[in-house]
């Protein structure tokens, strides 16, 4: 398919996803800092962040099948509306309970929205052009990943006393409102970009993992999701422990997203010279080095530098692995495969914050200051290092299976 032919659709998808993602990332930062301000223990902060992913983890496969069946327009409208409600609840009344409601509704609404965008983007092209399209979509996500936390951080620091978190949640709801208005009155695509036979009756999502190739791809999905989620969870806690302000923490998270923006602008070059497995393996290796260094630094600019390097690696790996999933998926099951990927990613987002929050509470008894979470950072570095080594070592053989950059 011609990239120019689908340019307007890709632009619309990127814009809508950027607005939804900015609200989502702003909500995660605002919610975690609000919980810290309410003197919630670390394990509760971890629980709040895990709730963003609990419902998507349980429902993403079913939502993928729904999207395959009805198209994307109705699910996107439902997703945006759910996000908007979730953001308004803590804006009106801030408490741990309303933060939990916010986490569940925003997480569920965004994942429906995001799955629709991913399905349509993957179906616009194939092969190397699919990787480039996901790269362009990822550029938009980098912009929103940067702007969401930074905007939320500055609003929290500079809004009037007593209205800091309410103002940040309200600003996020405005972003979702703009996306909803554009979807309802400006871009009316329904997402039916391909016509294929439905899957056989009784087909199960986990049947997609029967091939060795798909299993290897989903291991890579899990590791990259963990690399991203550990950063989003531990940076606000680590920053608070070393005395950073909300805006400074937002800038650290923003540096990560700025780096993903930079590296994704170069995706057409990387696609020409690297296989998808080389991009994924390189991303994991870079993340391992960064996580080893994270607890060794306690300055604002030091953490920003590490976050930027991490963003370069993760920003390179995510578009490649998204293209790999859809390239290896049977026709007619794209939404289901995206749902399975989202289930795996959201399992990471659900389990890791609770696990690390609980571990952090235990470690705080024995360690203090910036080194409290050092064993967690180093454990993640070890796993990612092994994953990167495995992907790079076996990349050539795996590309021969049919999932290389030259599909």
Q: What is the pLDDT of residues 203-233, one digit of tens each?
A: 566 666 677 777 788 888 888 888 877 787 7
Domains in the chain, CATH or no CATH each: 7-188+206-403 (1.20.1250.20)
pLDDT at site 57: 80
Dihedral angle of Cα 131, 117, 255, 35, to the nearest 10 degrees: -150
Out of 129-133, 295-299, 381-385, pick the least confident: 129-133
Q: How far is CA 396 from CA 55, 89, 124, 372, in A?
A: 37, 50, 27, 40
CB 377 within 8 A of CB 294: yes
Name the nearest CA neighbour of 190 among 79, 70, 78: 70
User: What's this model's pTM, rounded to 2 decimal places?
Assistant: 0.67
pLDDT category, 163, cuts 50, 70, 90? low
Where residue 194 falls among pLDDT bands split at 50, 70, 90?
very low
Three-point CA angle 108, 152, 183, nearest 5°: 50
Cα three-residue angle 187-188-192, rounded to 5 degrees: 120
Average pLDDT over residues 58-75: 82
Task: Identify the residue whose tokens are 């060794």.
Answer: 296
Q: Provide the 3-class DSSP secondary structure of residue 328.
A: coil
Phi/psi of residue 191, nearest 5 degrees: 85, 0
- Asked whether the predicted pLDDT for residue 5 surpasses 90, the reply is no
Per-residue confidence (pLDDT) for residue 406, from 0 to 100: 39
- 3-state SS string over 73-132? HHHHHHHHHHHHHHHHHHHHCCCHHHHHHHHHHHHHHHHHHHHHHHHHHHHCCCHHHHHH
pLDDT band at residue 322 using 50, 70 and 90 as cut-offs: confident
- CA 45 distance to own-chain centroid: 18
**pLDDT at position 87 over 90:** yes
Is 60 exceeded by the pLDDT of residue 405? no
- Tell me: pLDDT of 403 over 60: no
Total residues found in the chain within this entry: 407
């Amino acid at each position: 398919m011609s990239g120019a032919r689908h340019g307007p659709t890709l632009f619309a998808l990127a814009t809508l996803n950027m607005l939804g993602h900015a609200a989502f990332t702003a909500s995660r930062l605002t919610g975690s800092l609000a919980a810290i301000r309410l003197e919630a223990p670390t394990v509760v902060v971890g629980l709040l962040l895990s709730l963003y992913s609990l419902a998507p983890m349980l429902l993403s496969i079913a939502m993928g099948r729904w999207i395959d069946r009805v198209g994307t327009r109705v699910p996107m409208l439902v997703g945006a509306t759910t996000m908007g409600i979730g953001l308004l609840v803590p804006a009106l009344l801030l408490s741990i309970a309303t933060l939990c409601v916010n986490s569940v509704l925003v997480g569920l609404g965004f994942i429906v929205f995001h799955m629709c965008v991913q399905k349509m983007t993957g179906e616009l092209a194939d092969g190397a052009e699919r990787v480039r399209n996901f790269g362009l979509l990822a550029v938009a996500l980098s912009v929103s990943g940067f702007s969401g936390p930074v905007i939320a951080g500055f609003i929290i620091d500079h809004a009037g006393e007593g209205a800091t978190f309410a103002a940040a949640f309200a600003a996020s709801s405005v972003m979702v409102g703009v996306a909803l208005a554009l979807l309802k009155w400006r871009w009316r695509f329904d997402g039916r970009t391909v016509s294929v036979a439905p899957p056989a009756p009784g087909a199960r999502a986990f049947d997609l993992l029967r091939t060795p190739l798909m299993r290897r791809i989903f291991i890579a999905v899990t590791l990259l999701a963990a690399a991203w989620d550990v950063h989003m969870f531990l940076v606000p806690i680590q920053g608070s422990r070393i005395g950073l302000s909300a805006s400074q923490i937002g800038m650290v998270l923003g540096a990560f997203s700025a780096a993903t923006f930079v590296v994704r602008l170069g995706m057409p070059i990387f696609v020409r010279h690297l296989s998808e497995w080389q991009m994924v393996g390189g991303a994991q290796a870079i993340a391992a080095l960064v996580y080893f260094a994270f607890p060794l630094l306690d300055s604002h600019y030091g953490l920003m530098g590490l976050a930027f390097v991490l963003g370069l690696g993760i920003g390179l790996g995510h578009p490649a692995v998204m293209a790999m999933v859809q390239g290896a998926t049977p026709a007619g099951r794209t939404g289901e495969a995206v749902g399975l990927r989202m289930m795996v990613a959201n399992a990471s987002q659900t389990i890791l914050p609770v696990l690390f929050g609980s571990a952090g509470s235990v470690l705080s008894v024995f360690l203090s200051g910036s080194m409290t979470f050092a064993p967690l950072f180093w454990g993640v570095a070890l796993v990612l290092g092994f994953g990167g080594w495995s992907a790079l070592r076996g990349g050539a053989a795996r590309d021969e299976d049919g999932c290389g950059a030259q599909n």
